[in-house]
Amino acid sequence: MSIAVNSHAVPLVASAVFALSVIGIRLKAANRPTSERKIIIPPLGMSTGFAMFLFPFMRIPLVWGLVAFLAGAVFFSYPLIRTSRFEARDGQIYLKRSKAFIVILLVLLVIRLILHDYVEQFVSLPQTGALFFLLAFGMLVPWRVAMLIGYRKLQRTLPAEPAMNGI
């Protein structure tokens, strides 16, 4: 096997494993109540990835970064926003399962892989990684903001919990 095949196979396998992990996590999440914290933490955790730009070989022109972020925010987050719904059960809020979500994640993965191979022809591998980090972050932030808005809207409709005296 040539080195070129291996250098493409590793990211492909890693992306597939990541996508399947996200699907698994999403399906498990539907079985447990959600919270504002569970909605907010992923973008906060992912934001640590901006530290990559401390290294000069990872830096890209500002316009490229803005375009990648906006592409994620406009095109990639929309289907995720449309398929993320909440429901109230037993006084708690749960994320509803959506079969379309799984299909959307797989389609987004395929699009990402095709775009990655195309972009990689024009910029270095680290810069390609930086662009796709910004694309993913641009997808995650609007999706999670929309989830937070939906969560809070549903939360306002739930009856208030009784005060627990003496605890």
Query: How far is the CA of 99 from the CAs of 69, 83, 103, in angstroms?
Result: 27, 9, 7
Residue 163 pLDDT > 60, yes or no?
no
DSSP string for 50-90: GGGGGSGGG---HHHHHHHHHHIIIIIHHHHHHH--EEEET
Q: Kindly state whether residue 165 falls inside one of the protein's structural domains.
A: no
Closest CA to 33 of 93, 88, 97, 98: 93
Q: Kindly state whether residue 34 falls inside one of the protein's structural domains.
A: yes
Count of domains observed in the chain: 1
| Predicted local distance difference test score (pLDDT) of residue 64 | 95
Q: Kindly state whether residue 59 falls inside one of the protein's structural domains.
A: yes
Q: Kindly state whether residue 22 falls inside one of the protein's structural domains.
A: yes
Q: Kindly state whether residue 125 falls inside one of the protein's structural domains.
A: yes
Host domain of residue 35? 3-157
Query: How far is the CA of 98 from the CAs of 110, 119, 139, in angstroms?
Result: 19, 31, 18
Question: pLDDT tens digits, residue range 65-115?
Answer: 999 999 999 998 999 899 899 999 989 999 887 778 778 878 888 888 888
Orientation angle between helical segments 125-157 and 36-46, nearest 10 degrees: 170
Pairing of strands 92-95, 86-89: antiparallel
| Predicted local distance difference test score (pLDDT) of residue 134 | 96
Q: Kindly state whether residue 42 falls inside one of the protein's structural domains.
A: yes
Token duo for residue 15 = 């992306």
Token duo for residue 46 = 């992912």
Question: pLDDT tens digits, residue range 10-24?
Answer: 766 777 787 778 778
Q: Kindly state whether residue 167 falls inside one of the protein's structural domains.
A: no
Token duo for residue 141 = 């932030």
At residue 41 the predicted structure's pLDDT band, cuts being 50, 70 and 90, is: very high
Question: pLDDT tens digits, residue range 125-154?
Answer: 899 889 999 999 999 999 999 999 999 999
Q: Kindly state whether residue 30 falls inside one of the protein's structural domains.
A: yes
At residue 5 the predicted structure's pLDDT band, cuts being 50, 70 and 90, is: low
